[in-house]
Structure 1
């Protein structure tokens, strides 16, 4: 069933298939989609969705993003996969910045106002849900979901 609601959060920091697979299992996250934002003439891969903060606390969303998508070193494709999160609500953006300030993190994500999503074609949406057996899904996405389950299993939709 396709739900028509506008995204109010988006994340970047890795490939959009990995990020969407994570968002799809988080409580309070519905109508996820992948696509791109344009920022400084650079196309950025993002996963976006409608986030219900009454079902998933902002701090939990940020902790998950930090754990799974803000690790690692800079590399040639980092401009395409910046460590960033976008919010549709100015209040959520302010709260996220304040929480991140308290954490004193080296690989801190940028917090930005939500941009206009350019959605990827439908055939690219929900790759892991539709084809979990693909080698890419098994090698790249499944390990992220294993870490997510180990660290935040108590939160996840099953």
Structure 2
């Protein structure tokens, strides 16, 4: 992962991002969505801060189990994407609300097989759906964003059935919180979390107060 990333989506105001016209029902019990948006460190750092998200796990999806490891996936030849498995309480945060933050803050969905200087199919924008209902809602929201011309370029996020989720190595889990001074985290993840705080402060966990932009530290 390189230390420079230009994310046009970070400059898009929340008001320009519509609420999804379709959503999943607020059923009881924990639910999951598996998302790919470039470096999993950064996507995890954004989504873990959202109220109603109970757990985020970094990992790999889209390839075979024998090559589901960081060194192999980084070659860009295994078919995997770096993903996060987002567990959430639908009574507190909806599937649509997670999609709205994913498409507006967590990554730039108009970049094909890359995010900034991170290039390769392992950095593709994708939603790995587990149900037909998840697929339907995501398809609807992508059409909605394109029809509204929220971005100047079309959304290229792929929808792929989730065959398996492979957890990443332990040192990749909760990476941003454990390594706030790491250059990539300071340059790429921290500005995304700052944008989340500025635009979606009402969606944050109550104990989450912000990011110190001078150091990249998460402040709780």
Aligned match of 1:3: none
Match of 1:38 in 2: 62
Q: What are the Cα deviations for residues 29-77 of structure 1, in whole angstroms up to 9, with x where unaligned? A: 2221111113494121001121222222232212211113134644572
The equivalent of 1:20 in structure 2 is 44
Alignment deviations for residues 108-140 of structure 1 (CA, whole Å, 9 cap, x no partner)? 422333331111111221011112122221111
TM (normalized to structure 1)? 0.83
Question: Which aligned segments of 4 or more residues in structure 1 are displaced greater than 4 angstroms?
Answer: none
RMSD: 2.5
Aligned counterparts, 1:55-134, within 5 A: 55-67=92-104, 68-71=106-109, 73-74=111-112, 75=114, 77-104=119-146, 106-134=154-182
Between 30-39 and 107-116, the greater mean CA deviation after superposition: 107-116
Gaps of 5+ in 2: 1-29, 64-76, 209-220
2:109–2:157: 8 Å Cα contact kept in structure 1? no
Q: Secondary structure at the residue paired with 1:10?
A: strand
Aligned pair 1:51/2:99, yes or no? no
8 Å contact from structure 1 (residues 7, 32) kept in 2: no
Q: Secondary structure at the match of 1:8?
A: strand
Larger Rg: 2
Whether the 8 Å CA contact 1:8–1:89 is kept in 2: the answer is no
